[in-house]
Amino acid sequence: MNTISKYVQYLRQIHILSSNILKQRFTINQKQISTNTNSTFLYFSSNFKTVRYLSNTTSQLGLSNIIPSNDVLITSIKNAKQTSDVLQILRLHNTAMSAPQHLQALNSLFLLQKSKITKLSNEELTRSPEFTAMCRKIQNYSRNLELNDVMNSVKCLSYLGVSVNSNIMQMLLQLISKMINDMSLQQITFLHFLLKELSSCPLVDALKLALPIVFETQVQYKLEDNLYWQVEFLNYIAKHRLSQETYDFVMSRIIRNIDQISPKIVQNLLLCLYYKHYSTEKYIDTISRCLQYYTNHLDYIADISDVDAILSRMINKYSTDSELFYNEQFIYTIVEFVMKKEESFEVLAYILKKLNRIGFVHHGLLDYMTNKLTSQPDILENVKFGVLLSYIAACANANYIPIGFEELKPLILSRLNKQKDVLELPWLLVTFDLAVLGCWSEELLERVFSRDFLYGFLKRSDNIHDHIMLLKLYQASKTLYPGGYKGSLPPQEIIEKSIDIYQHNINDFPLKAPLEHGLGGSDYVLTGVRSQLGHFIDHLVVMRPGGYPVAIKNEIKDSKSLLLENIVNSSDNLAIGILLYKPNSYAINLNCLRGPYMLTNKTIEALGIAVLPISMDVWDGLIDYEKIPYIMRELKSKADLNLIAE
């Protein structure tokens, strides 16, 4: 039996059960009506009992089409200032009140309790005899209520803490289940919102499962030509992971009406278009148009939470789906917006954390945040560890030392030292990022290099990135530490494992053939050169003055212990290490290597060779006949620059 059939069978059983219950309730109600002589109640019995149609609107208040405009009691209930006032009305008039009056009483109780101006708690209210009597009355004529009023009653009762397993809640939910196929799309989405607030029970769970199915089967012919509701329904589709076909159908209607876009709508539409479970590359023009509209109205429609939501979705979509979703101009505009609004350091750090994920660099933002730290020392003293880490990581990622950062170095180290005993913090990461920025602490290094820390930190199964970071920090401490690092080093067995992980399965060398062809043969190029510290260099060539290649000695080339140090020490000419870097090694918005990769270059250069980084993005973009001239120009340029420097 398929899923839909199970839902239908379950709901059919509910319908049969609810019919029996309702017949019993209705029989009792009829007897009460026949013996009651109150004129107000007679008015209700003749005018209300036939109301049984569904509204096509989504009045969340309910009470539609049934409230007499001149009802004095309803007016009194509406004007009540305290929960106790409504309870007093119920105490005096409950037996004579009509359905609209009881519904208004329930709604007023909900509003008064929600406003927090009452002296009664929800629990005290629901235990009162007046509330209990009101619920019984609503139960008695629930069969004749409109769907909107049933849903509103569920909303009110749920907020007031009435159990989902109570008689009145079960009765109302059973009524809803009978009307599920006649609901409008607005009613379906609102009902699903209500159900999320209810505790689990068979009826609630069945409705939650059935509503998206009913929505999907009816959207094709019930979707109205209103952009606001179309975007709301697209949001419902995305949240409940309905089919791509349904998503595309609603998007086709939205695109027809896109000229009606407004500040109220544009943000919700952007969030829907960035949902990760849907293929939305085909709507990239619509996304660009919405982003342009959004940025043009940024001062009027957005606060930081709005900006953060869209930026997060964009970055997630870019990272998981396609580069098409990256919009550089939008990010620049957002950064300017948050600086203009003078947001707190903490808020700016959260923005930075997202930008770090994709390697986006904004020097102006880093200068602005550094100025905040230097001009307001209390920020650094009280800032959370994670917030400070985001700032440090952003500077390291950009390989940028903002103005004023030098005076912050001792203050940052002092701030970090306050939490030195909290081993769960990412000490290896922060120490590495500080090394990228030339901010050294022997105390920090000894902590992260200690055997106890490393064996505890690296015991996770997914630790490849941590091993590589440790290796690069080890290389930097051996080559770049001012005056030479004298502290303890990581255990040798851990370093050897890190080297094995770093150099594992590196066997693709797209520059090898062009280099050999351009330089005159394989005697002029060494491939896969390693250092004693664990560096791995794609290719090594030796150049004499004038940019001419030098054949490397065969005994060195054929040695089983081929190491960078042997080659550098055997030649007085310029050795150039060529490293091929993937696109994510570069800042996404600038043509420069990110800080961690620049640190690697610096540690290699500290061993006595020049480093020539080659972008894989640039290389792959060249036509085959352009590649050899390009690599030869880069080599000659590097050799000439080093000659001038000397």
How confident is the model over 539-565, as a mean pLDDT?
74
Query: Which SS3 state, helix, strand or coil, does residue 97 take?
Result: coil
- Tell me the average pLDDT of the chain: 85
Alpha-carbon distances, residue 642 vs 15, 269, 390, 604, 645 (angstroms) = 85, 54, 36, 15, 5
Query: What single-letter amino acid sits at 346?
Result: E
Q: What is the pLDDT of residues 201-217, one digit of tens each?
A: 999 999 999 999 999 99
pLDDT digits (tens, 9 = 90+) for 340-387: 988 899 999 999 999 999 999 999 999 999 999 999 989 998 889 999
State the average pLDDT over residues 142-155: 90
pLDDT at 32: 41
pLDDT score recorded for residue 460: 79
Judge contact between 347 and 385, C-beta under 8 A: no
What does the alpha-carbon distance between residue 12 and residue 15 come to, in Å, rounded to a whole number? 5
Residue carrying structure tokens 């043969």: 521
Interatomic CA distance for residues 120 and 271, integer angstroms: 40
1 pLDDT more than 80: no
pTM greater than 0.75 (yes/no): yes
CA gap 586, 593 in Å, rounded: 4
> Quick one: what percent of the chain has pLDDT higher than 90?
60
User: Is it the case that residue 4 has pLDDT exceeding 80?
Assistant: no
Q: What is the secondary structure of 239-277 as a DSSP string?
A: HTT--HHHHHHHHHHHHHTGGG--HHHHHHHHHHHT-TT
Q: Is a pLDDT exceeding 80 seen at residue 64?
A: no
- Which of 121-125, 398-402, 567-571 holds the top average pLDDT? 398-402
Q: Which pLDDT tens digit goes with each residue over 510-528?
A: 999 999 999 988 889 998 8
Q: Report pLDDT for 511.
A: 94
Asked if 66 and 146 count as a contact pair (C-beta separation under 8 A), the reply is yes
Averaged pLDDT for residues 296-313: 87
Q: What is the DSSP string of 515-550?
A: HHHHHTSGGG-EEEEE-TTS-EEEEEEEEETTTEEE
What residues have CB less than 8 Å from 210, skipping those under 6 apart?
A: 7, 11, 180
Digit-coded pLDDT (tens) for 169-209: 999 999 999 989 889 999 999 999 999 889 999 999 999 99
- Check residue 27 and give its pLDDT: 43
- Backbone phi, psi, residue 24, to 5°: -65, -45
246-282: per-residue pLDDT in tens? 999 999 999 999 999 998 899 999 999 999 889 999 9
Helix (H, G, I), strand (E, B) or coil at 612: strand
Average pLDDT over residues 524-550: 88
- Classify the phi-psi angles of 49: left when phi > 0, otherwise alpha if psi is within -120 to 50, otherwise beta: alpha
Residue 3 has pLDDT above 80, yes or no: no
Q: What is the identity of the amino acid at 294?
A: Y
Q: What is the reported pLDDT for 71?
A: 75
- Please state the φ and ψ torsions of residue 522, each to the nearest 5 degrees: -70, -15
CA dist 118 and 115 (Å) reads 8
Distance, CA of 555 to CA of 569 (rounded, Å): 14
pLDDT at 23 over 50: no
69 versus 617: which is more confidently predicted? Answer: 617
Judge whether residue 50 has pLDDT over 50: no
| pLDDT tens digits, 614-646 | 999 999 999 999 999 999 999 988 887 776 555
- Cα separation, 336 vs 341, in Å, equals 9
